[in-house]
Structure 1
């Protein structure tokens, strides 16, 4: 029986090649898109799952509120890790990480820049699953000036992984670090990824006992029976106990609604659910998982709808077949099996083609999504069974209505030609509306994302990021100011500044700032070390006061603050000029500064976040870069001159650079990739919907060929007939626009809420999406309509 069903189904599909091709093509595109998105979602959901103790690992965070401004950090104070482990028996282990910025490592006569370097407590290897190739993980980082490197780094510097006891020289502190461990490369699916783990004992700041300084990523491993919610509830008393000191009254601070709170983030939630300041990497967003999952489902539904629509539209052509089969004694159940067999056969063939298409497109998809997805034996173990299940489900869903609808035809009515009401027109109309509602939703979503990205690109951020050349690693020079002075002499250079604190960089330095009044509670601020040319180079403006000056030696005791910091200190306008501001360093020493000026607020974090307090002092930055504002003329020639100056003062260092506008774009790479993915799958959804609409238009034109022939004989022209065949489809698209527009508006408003600075949803987006959908439908249907309208009416009437 099964063999006969397959043979009959195969013959039927070959007989109707056009509709079979349209169905196979639509399902192939839908399944291929679904497979790519499933790959993407599976990769995003797998972050940090490589850790065998992942369910017991938590990151400790800090939430800080002062004067109605709340800031969320992924870091805590240096002594928190040890204090938590001491105070709470639920905690089995605690470890800290703090990245080492701009690290240079000596390799022969060359100094190589390394970006994945971190100071780490020894317990990190007992918390995270980081297998060693050589060395003892339990003791590897206990001694000062020891380092654990990964396999790739060992091969890069030594050509072997058998390097225990050998040394690496870090140029930053001119110290040799003994290699005490070599571990396997960390999985890409990790929220942090480092090549060098330096011993925390090598970091002179690691012994800071101040609970007001937040600068360490801290992880805890709970005991198997520990309850994280109960533990987190105890953190309020923990912070109160450790923050009430002789210099800071936490009770008074909290009485005004302010707080400094610790909380926990489960390890598996960090990548998709955490967007705090000072994250160790660029995290994903769970909302995008939902969005892309919905897109995959919608595209698959559109492909299934095409199948159902085309099958029911062909009901008149297959009605006599059903009637004859029933007269000859074929039971209805056999007919249902027959139609389902055809559906599953088409889906199976489409699935094979979809696998090949997804494999071909995987490289391009990786480039768009910023992923490194590959087809491996590991993912094929679940992919092939999952695909088989999808084939059966999609085949049954796509073929269910045609199977039950066509098999229900009464043979007497069919053979007498009484097919009125048997063509499923109402359902087809509803499905077309559903298809185009999804398509319009995706068009609106794509336009909204690109509108927001365009707003980000053109927003006045409070500084000018255009035509700023950033020469990196000048901190390795004996005196970076010599290079600065030489570069400023070049024609085409407007200004230059030496500092690593840039609005588009990740170089940050949190600090506690307080005012001169006893009632002024300290608050968390950024403290940047800059030079007197900083504001001019970056095009920043002063609201009041003056800039630093190299000619005034007393400016070393001066400070510039932004408008937000001035408000936090309780001052407005010129009232803050010459007032005292205090900064407490990591050693607990209090430094006094005098306010010289207030800088107009500028965005130095993502536009997802509000502007936070910031202060600048006149001091050299050991992580510096040389930032050069250049004219927009012959940039290539000027860069050649800058490189010559670099080679003159630095013989053994590579000339590395970037442009500030490019660095700014990287801050929004996730949004750009999301927009590209949205655009790609929106185009795919439109293409699949058009395939279905094209088939329906052809079927409708074929069924109405006699009517069209009569109309042409009675004098109807091509334009009138084309309008007649097109208008019904346009009405359905308009209904889809009415349904999709408010839903898309609500969804995009929710997405835009994730940005502190955003472009309001524009009415023209709905207009363009609606007109675009109508135009797409008109072009798709008109092709078939015009083809039928210009045909010889005698041929269609002769067939009747």
Structure 2
């Protein structure tokens, strides 16, 4: 029996028995007795009694109820041990659910690779000429037609001298004239080349940053017959970069002295010049070229300016108006034509010397497509993760029941999302590297591996991983971690949302809405391209070979033509400024003065010979054609020109005078041709006049005798043309192109848009189908017992397939209804870029809807049929 000296005060024990909480009385008394024994051994009888009585009073019911239960410290959710635990569990879950991981990982990989490649393209296209130190002050002088708000990159040749002498706000002025297909020879080494030449002066080197290997920016192009080469072209011509003082031959008799060698230009520049010749040499190469004129302009002659610091381009509007008044004089020209300045950073989005233009709308479409494809991949992750929660509901319930808080569960699910995203990101980078070459070819871009592994791509990739993790992981993490534990343990599934359309179905609707928009866009764009390809241009583009002429000496051209038409393989030959339809044209101001007020017509000039109409199959509908040997000025007009001057019938135009030049010269209209497309189908048809001007013959159009020829016959014809060429122009390189292929180049942006959207459509549909496949798999697994019972009760396989499929087809059909008006609006806006365009027909949307429905049905049916064919005895026994 215990000694009274070792017992606590009885009154305190009695109070605790009488007033303590009945549920915890025995446990509390036991704990206090153990503490009392400890106090006896450490502080003595007297202090042990005081401590016991005080503790008993604190634990009485009135006092104990006012106190909160003791809190036990929770482990830090982001401690190194917990993070290691999150990763370990995430790896186990990903490897355990292989189907889920593969579907999700493959979808994320495709989405991220697509977004990454699009970023590389957009980053390249928006980086042109951003590396020049004075780039923010460099502007190009452009000529704008007020009537149709059309800007031309070129301007009048006299503009250079006027700006230098009369505009003090401009610090430097640099003219650039591009001449394509110029013959360059190295006589001492017997080498012959055909190159693009830029005629300019030293001022260009103060606007555009060049790195000099040899020579000086102050003197390199200061005198006639000087040339500056890039290092790769110095190697190409002379086999060394030590080329200062060496000579090359431009054309037949223009000897050029190498005065400088430059480092090769970067890929992202609109000044891809390898051979720069001093601009005074231009007059020696082309004696008839007007280097100080206001009569006409072309896009190949451009003027660049460096504004003084603090000067804004808008401040020069009055200066340009004063120049017009002083030099152009004609009120109609001044009214309908303005000069504007276009910044260096925007040159890549219009006509430039790089040979290609970036399309801002296309870049925006690309960025939108990348975002959509990534969104579809993230939707897959959300849908599949929440669907997979059926198998993890009990796990979550147990975790929460044994004390895991919501924050720890959120971290766990976000870790799983982040790990899967990280692994997908590595695979996406590898996939992008493999697909980079194909992307570069598709877009016509000089992309290479360094573009993919730049710091900008690294920053984008980091942001993409974080964004994808947040997009894909946030909703599942909060949805699953917030699950009531009692529900999970009892039902082993997530609570269903009230209402008609669940969140998961809503995400499927978003996926297929995007897919439907892409399918519709693909169909419409290809129809527009078909219109471009098959449109009647008003002339014959088939079986015509175009060749740039090295000179236009009449006797040489006549000999060339006579020898060509003597061959039975050649039907006809025409010499002209350019083809009937060309991107670079000669625009001139013409006047018709028969009425009370003269009519000013901005006219496209086609400088042609007497064989032009026959060679290109252009129809003469009134008057007569040009004759061989015509020397007096005379015009053939198109129907658009007649409409502008108010003549309603072609016959009435014959003999009417058209004034040109300074207004003192005039020539009669001798014929009228049926309207033909002088520009691409992006634009309307300009008023056009044809005139015989032999000094401006720079191209030969050679019509083959047969339009449909075999490859062997075509090679024979080309060999014949080349043989004759070499006999007439022995020191010139023979190069050619087919007219139909040259005309197709005008639609490269649309062709690229079509190919890109087709590719994006396939990727988007593939990812969306992966998601549907995964959802159908989980749905079939969750309804295994139901399917077994239905089969036992006599349900047919088609009825079970229909039962499982209809839940997935409902959101797809809803997506079709949502996507159709959105796609209609987008296509309608895109078609506004074209003067000639297709109609937006309803059946295209119907076809896109049928395609989307078939794709979804095929995807879901695979799992539905598999589940319907399962042996019910096995499924019921397993359940």
TM-score bracket for the superposition, by shorter chain length: over 0.9
Q: Which residue, 90, 93, 101 being the options, matches 1:9? A: 90
Q: Which residue, 529, 543, 562 being the options, matches 1:453? A: 529
**Secondary structure, aligned partner of 2:853:** helix
Q: Is residue 158 of structure 1 aligned with residue 234 of structure 2?
A: no
Of residues 431-440 and 416-425 in structure 1, the stretch that sits farther from structure 2 once superposed is 416-425
Which residue does 1:686 correspond to in 2? 765
Which residue does 1:74 correspond to in 2? 153
**Secondary structure, aligned partner of 2:296:** coil
Which residue does 1:198 correspond to in 2? 277
Which residue does 2:699 correspond to in 1? 624
Q: Is residue 117 of structure 1 aligned with residue 197 of structure 2?
A: yes
Q: Is residue 355 of structure 1 aligned with residue 429 of structure 2?
A: yes
Q: TM-score, normalising length from structure 2?
A: 0.85
Shift of 1:545: 1.5
Aligned partners of 1:559 and 1:110: how far apart in 2? 45
Q: In the alignment, is the contact (CA less than 8 A) between 1:307 and 1:398 conserved in 2?
A: yes
Q: In the alignment, is the contact (CA less than 8 A) between 2:515 and 2:765 conserved in 1?
A: yes
Aligned partners of 2:720 and 2:831: how far apart in 1? 46
Q: TM-score, normalising length from structure 1?
A: 0.93
Which residue does 1:56 correspond to in 2? 137
Q: Is residue 261 of structure 1 aligned with residue 344 of structure 2?
A: no
Task: Give the unaligned 5+ runs of structure 1.
Answer: none
Shift of 1:359: 0.6
Q: Is residue 569 of structure 1 aligned with residue 649 of structure 2?
A: no
Aligned partners of 1:240 and 1:728: how far apart in 2? 73
Q: In the alignment, is the contact (CA less than 8 A) between 1:313 and 1:423 conserved in 2?
A: no
Aligned partners of 2:492 and 2:773: how far apart in 1? 27
Shift of 1:419: 4.1
Of residues 745-754 and 557-566 in structure 1, the stretch that sits farther from structure 2 once superposed is 557-566
Shift of 1:418: 6.9
Shift of 1:115: 4.0
Task: Give the unaligned 5+ runs of structure 2.
Answer: 1-81
Q: 1:101 to 1:589 in 2, by over 3 A?
A: farther
Q: In the alignment, is the contact (CA less than 8 A) between 2:542 and 2:707 conserved in 1?
A: no
Which residue does 1:520 correspond to in 2? 598
Q: In the alignment, is the contact (CA less than 8 A) between 1:310 and 1:696 conserved in 2?
A: yes
1:355-409 deviation line (CA, Å, top 9, x unaligned): 1111111111111111121222894323234322321221122011111111111
Which residue does 2:657 correspond to in 1? 580
Q: Which residue, 840, 843, 848 being the options, matches 1:764? A: 843
Q: How does 1:539-558 map to 2 (within 5 A)?
A: 539-550=617-628, 553=629, 556-558=632-634
Q: Computing the radius of gyration over CA atoms, which structure comes out larger, 1 or 2?
A: 2
Q: 1:629 to 1:378 in 2, by over 3 A?
A: closer
**Secondary structure, aligned partner of 1:650:** helix
Aligned partners of 1:420 and 1:643: how far apart in 2? 77
Q: How does 1:374-523 map to 2 (within 5 A)?
A: 374-376=448-450, 379-417=453-491, 419=493, 421-422=495-496, 426-473=502-549, 475=551, 479-506=556-583, 508-517=585-594, 519-523=597-601
Which residue does 2:753 correspond to in 1? 674
**Secondary structure, aligned partner of 2:820:** helix
Shift of 1:622: 3.8
**Secondary structure, aligned partner of 1:607:** coil
Q: 1:85 to 1:471 in 2, by over 3 A?
A: closer
Shift of 1:516: 4.9
Which residue does 1:148 correspond to in 2? 228
Q: How does 1:181-196 map to 2 (within 5 A)?
A: 181-196=260-275
1:665-686 deviation line (CA, Å, top 9, x unaligned): 1121221122111111111111
Shift of 1:471: 4.1
Of residues 55-64 and 572-581 in structure 1, the stretch that sits farther from structure 2 once superposed is 572-581
Of residues 455-464 and 200-209 in structure 1, the stretch that sits farther from structure 2 once superposed is 200-209
Highest RCO, 1 vs 2 (Cα 8 Å, sep ≥ 6): 1
Aligned partners of 1:241 and 1:633: how far apart in 2? 56
Aligned partners of 1:142 and 1:761: how far apart in 2? 58
Q: Is residue 709 of structure 1 aligned with residue 788 of structure 2?
A: yes
Aligned partners of 2:832 and 2:371: how far apart in 1? 25
Q: Is residue 773 of structure 1 aligned with residue 773 of structure 2?
A: no
Q: 1:480 to 1:110 in 2, by over 3 A?
A: farther
Aligned partners of 1:353 and 1:284: how far apart in 2? 29
Aligned partners of 1:377 and 1:455: how far apart in 2? 36
Q: In the alignment, is the contact (CA less than 8 A) between 1:74 and 1:279 conserved in 2?
A: no
Shift of 1:86: 3.3
Of residues 500-509 and 28-37 in structure 1, the stretch that sits farther from structure 2 once superposed is 500-509
Which residue does 1:600 correspond to in 2? 674
Q: Which residue, 217, 227, 238 being the options, matches 1:137? A: 217
Aligned partners of 1:512 and 1:194: how far apart in 2? 32
Q: In the alignment, is the contact (CA less than 8 A) between 1:475 and 1:625 conserved in 2?
A: no
Q: How does 1:238-387 map to 2 (within 5 A)?
A: 238-244=323-329, 248=330, 250=331, 258-272=335-349, 274=350, 281-376=355-450, 379-387=453-461
Which residue does 1:168 correspond to in 2? 248
Q: In the alignment, is the contact (CA less than 8 A) between 1:27 and 1:300 conserved in 2?
A: yes
Shift of 1:719: 0.9
Q: 1:610 to 1:744 in 2, by over 3 A?
A: same
Which residue does 1:222 correspond to in 2? 307
1:644-689 deviation line (CA, Å, top 9, x unaligned): 3541452444443222111111121221122111111111111111
